[in-house]
Amino acid sequence: MRDKLKALVLDGSRDGDDLTPIAVLGVTSALSERVEDVEWVKLRERTIAPCAGCFGCWTRTPGECVIGDGARDVLRSYVGSDIVVYVTPVTFGGYSSQLKKMLDRFIPVLDPRFTIVGGEVHHRLRYRRYPKTIGLGTLPSPDPEAERLFAGLVSRNGLNVHQTVESSILVGVTDPVSARDSARRLLDRAV
């Protein structure tokens, strides 16, 4: 951890989504209580192209995507953060396309070469340290199957950066105070 702690909130809300903005409010509020610098990135307002699948970020310009758009700023911020929170509507157990368009562009932060993590093959790390990954999903009503998948997905994403991670889902939470309280509990577990 650095002297001045920084958190990055990746807001994967979609147009017309009422719940995720409440979760974002809650988590930024809870983070502000323990971190000096909280950066909120509303992904649907950023121009971020889908990953082209070219592996140029590994074999042409190692560490940097060949597409020079808004994803580069987000990656720079990610590497400079102590905590990253993925906030998203749980979409069939996964992330929204808004969050996913950014996460697909995260591979430059890894080294392409393989290593074993938790008995499975993953990629080596490019940097010495990575922010603690936290997932916060929203759902309008309980959906145990989607909730289980979401927790598993966040956990697998943690393995990619050789971490154990924490996640939580706010079900039908429309009140920012309740969202903040839930986010506090999640942060207590995670950091």
Partner 1 sequence: MNALILIGSPKGRNSASYVLGSMLAGYLQKHGATVSEEMVHHGIRSKDGTDRLLDAVDASDLVVFAFPLYVDSLPAPLTCLLERIAERRALIVPTRAPRLAALVQCGFPESHQCDTAVGICRVFAERTGMRWAGALAMGMGGSLGGDLKKLPGGGKNIFRALDMASESLAVGGDIPPEAVGLFAKPLMPRWMYTAFGNLGWHMQMRKNKTRRPMTYRPYAQG
Residues numbered 24-43 forming contacts with partner 1, rule: CB under 8 A: none
Collapse the DSSP code of 96 into the 3-class scheme (helix H, G, I; strand E, B; otherwise coil) and give the result.
coil
- The residue from 3, 4, 120, 141 that contacts partner 1 (CB under 8 A) is 120
Task: Decide if residue 164 touches partner 1 (CB under 8 A).
Answer: no
Collapsed DSSP state (helix, strand, coil) of residue 2? coil
Check residue 44 and report its DSSP letter: G
Hey, which residues does 87 pair with through a beta bridge? 11, 136
Of the pair 33, 92, the CB lying nearest partner 1 is at 92
Q: Which is nearer to partner 1, 50 or 175 (CB)?
A: 50
3-class SS at 49? Answer: coil
Q: Is the CB of 5 or the CB of 149 nearer to partner 1?
A: 149
Interface with partner 1, residue 180, by CB under 8 A: no
> Nearest Cα to 179, choosing from 15, 9, 20?
20
Interaction of residue 189 with partner 1, rule CB under 8 A: no
Nearer Cβ to partner 1 (99/183): 99
Residues 123-152 that bind partner 1 (CB under 8 A): 126-130, 145-146, 149, 152
Number of residues binding to partner 1, judged by CB under 8 A: 54
46 binds partner 1 (CB under 8 A): no
Question: Do 135 and 167 touch, CB atoms closer than 8 A?
Answer: yes
Return the bridge partners of 115, or none.
122
Phi, psi for 82 (deg, rounded to 5)? -95, -25
Interface with partner 1, residue 160, by CB under 8 A? yes
Distance CA 176, CA 125 (A): 36
End-to-end, the C-alpha distance of the chain in Å comes to 11
**Residues of this chain that bind partner 1 (CB under 8 A):** 14, 50-55, 58-64, 75-76, 78-80, 91-97, 100-101, 103-104, 106-109, 111-114, 120-122, 126-130, 145-146, 149, 152-153, 156-157, 160
